[in-house]
Amino acid sequence: MEQHRAIVVGGGIGGLTAAVALHRNGWQVTVLERAADLAPVGAGIGLAPNAQRALDVLGLGDRVRELAAWQGDGGMRAPDGRWLARTNAGAAAARFGGPLVLLHRATLVEILTSALPDGAVRTGTAASLADPGDDHRPARLTTPHGETEAELVVAADGIRSATRHALFPAHPGLRYAGCTTWRVVIPAPATPFAPHETWGAGRLWGTQPLKDGRIYAYAMATAPAGGRAPDDEKAELLRLFGGWHHPVPEILAAVDPAQVMRHDVHHLYDPLPAFHQGRVALLGDAAHAMMPSLGQGGNQAIEDAVVLAHHARSAPGFLPGRDLAAYTADRLPRTTAIVRKAARTGALTMLSARPAVALRSTLVGAVSRFGPGLVLRGFDGITDWHPPVAPAPPA
Ligand SMILES: Cc1cc2nc3c(=O)[nH]c(=O)nc-3n(C[C@H](O)[C@H](O)[C@H](O)COP(=O)(O)OP(=O)(O)OC[C@H]3O[C@@H](n4cnc5c(N)ncnc54)[C@H](O)[C@@H]3O)c2cc1C
């Protein structure tokens, strides 16, 4: 059978998952990644049961689940260490039908690339869209090696997607969310700790264990766009969080300043008119960059990939006008709602006026008295998602 060609622009989590999903459905897939290698940023990523179920479709869900490291208690704290809301790994897993898994991004990339044929990923290859194509002509891309054609182009080129801009030049684009983030992966502190997220005035810190004995620590604070510490980012973190409860000071003491990554938060608050045009499907941050406050950006990219492959499953009978419109119809409303919810949650976590922070702590505490399940309900409708099921072939 003649194989139909899909080109994925961008070898991040979304692009690699799309490549695996399309390859399993019979497409001949090439991933073009502009970076010299696939080494992702040295940070963790939380995959919730929704993304794990999507990965089940690809036969990869259990490889992620076995990396679950959170056991016992955890929850939300105040900077002085008071618990505002407590929950535990068992309650979270029971609520969502599976564990919340924190893994290193490099591990996820390894799991995804292991499911691709040799040579499917071409690094050091930036691609730009020359023509999105339509039902009657292929899409065309320009690469450093010349022009290339494909029946399907997956634009997974990230938050600053040039493909998005080429397809929807009138869209207002990214908005600065008013805050910046820091991330680091280091060996676990010697003194035991419970996984936590701690909310202060205009600041947040989280510490989560990884299966390999390290921890993933992340922080967020309100800040003007483009700011950088006058000395180094470890010193900035010490100024902002050095007086917070255990294990924050112990972690900061152990951090090498060169390991601390800082990124401003931007999001696509205004939805795109569609996630496709011609033979091009946008996916992941290229389509719906969101604040990290729900930890769903990567999860949604993985959902996108599996839903896209579901609609494009019969490569020979692929009709872009019909199949990619079905992809947009499935994904745009859901991801728009999650972008908005992430923005609302982000605004709540970044409250800085003292009375508002005190009221927030009281409310979180009051809600948690009704049981840990309630604290987790902000994720209702997100983590309980199930992938679409392919119709049975005609008898
Ligand atoms: C602080 C922070 C914490 C987060 N925590 C979580 C979390 O816990 N859980 C979660 O699900 N999400 C989380 N996210 C969001 C998540 O990181 C992103 O949503 C996810 O990485 C998006 O994946 P992507 O594949 O769409 O884009 P990217 O991972 O950005 O990949 C895009 C790729 O495209 C490549 N590229 C760009 N242009 C071109 C071109 N012209 N040609 C070829 N290649 C190109 C880039 O080099 C890059 O490799 C977090 C984000 C932040 C900032």
Q: Is 372 within a domain?
A: no
Using the mean position of ligand 1's atoms as its centre, give its distance from the Cα of residue 72 in Å: 30
* pLDDT for residue 133: 98
- Kindly report the number of other CB atoms within 10 A of residue 256's CB atom: 9
pLDDT at 374: 58
Check if 209 has its Cβ closer than 6 Å to any atom of ligand 1.
Answer: no
Considering only CA atoms, which of 387, 329, 312, 297 is closest in space to residue 29? 312
Q: Does a structural domain hold residue 58?
A: yes
CB of 14 closer than 6 angstroms to any ligand 1 atom: yes
The count of domains in the chain is 1
Question: Coil, strand or helix: which one is 342?
Answer: helix
Contacts of 214 (CB under 8 A, 6+ apart): 104, 185, 186, 187, 188
Partners of residue 220 on adjacent β-strands: 181, 204
Cβ pair 338, 382 in contact under 8 A? yes
Please state the atom number of ligand 1 nearest to the C-alpha of residue 287.
26
Tokens of 110: 């390894």
What pLDDT, on a 0 to 100 scale, did the predictor assign at position 376?
A: 64
Which atom of ligand 1 lies nearest, measured to the CA of 46? 8
The predicted structure's pLDDT at residue 39: 82
CA distance 98 to 314: 31
Q: DSSP readout, 85-117?
A: EEEEHHHHHHHHTS--EEEEHHHHHHHHHTTS-
pLDDT tens profile 28-39: 999 999 999 998
Q: What is the pLDDT of residue 94?
A: 83
- Residue 167 CA: distances (Å) to CA of 23, 173, 198: 25, 12, 40
Return d(Cα 220, Cα 114) in angstroms, integer: 33
DSSP H/E element including 348: helix 320-349
CATH number at residue 33: 3.50.50.60
Cα–Cα distances (Å) from 192 to 46, 176, 195, 252, 329, in that order, read 21, 37, 10, 15, 47
Q: Is the CB of 189 under 6 A from ligand 1?
A: no
Position 372 scores a pLDDT of 60
Q: How close is the Cα of 285 to the center of ligand 1, in Å? A: 6
How far apart (Å, rounded) are the C-alpha atoms in residues 108 and 103? 7
Candidates 7, 31, 157: which one to mutate for ligand 1, based on the most atoms within 8 Å of Cβ?
A: 157
DSSP 8-class letter at 58: T
Report the C-alpha gap between 81 and 244 in whole angstroms: 7
Distance of alpha carbon 366 from alpha carbon 114, whole angstroms: 46
373 lies in some domain: no
Q: What is the pLDDT of residue 371?
A: 62
* Ligand 1 pocket, residue 109 CB under 6 Å: no
Indicate whether residue 197 lines ligand 1 (CB < 6 A): no
Ligand 1, atom 39, residue with closest C-alpha: 157
296 lines ligand 1 (CB under 6 A): yes
Q: In terms of DSSP bridges, do strands 5-9 and 28-32 run parallel, antiparallel, or are they unpaired?
A: parallel
Q: Determine, yes or no, domain membership for 13.
A: yes
Q: Please compute Rg for the chain using Cα positions.
A: 21
Classify residue 201: in a domain, yes or no.
no
Shortest-distance atom of ligand 1 to CA 220? 1
Per the structure, the complete domain to which residue 329 belongs is given by 5-70+98-174+268-348
Residue 116 resides in a domain? yes
Q: Is residue 368 part of a domain?
A: no
Residue numbers in the chain where pLDDT is lower than 70: 1-3, 314-315, 368-377, 391-395
CB burial of residue 316 (10 Å; 0-12, 13-18, 19+): exposed
- Check residue 185 and report its DSSP letter: E
pTM recorded for the entire structure: 0.96
Residue 64 lies in a domain: yes
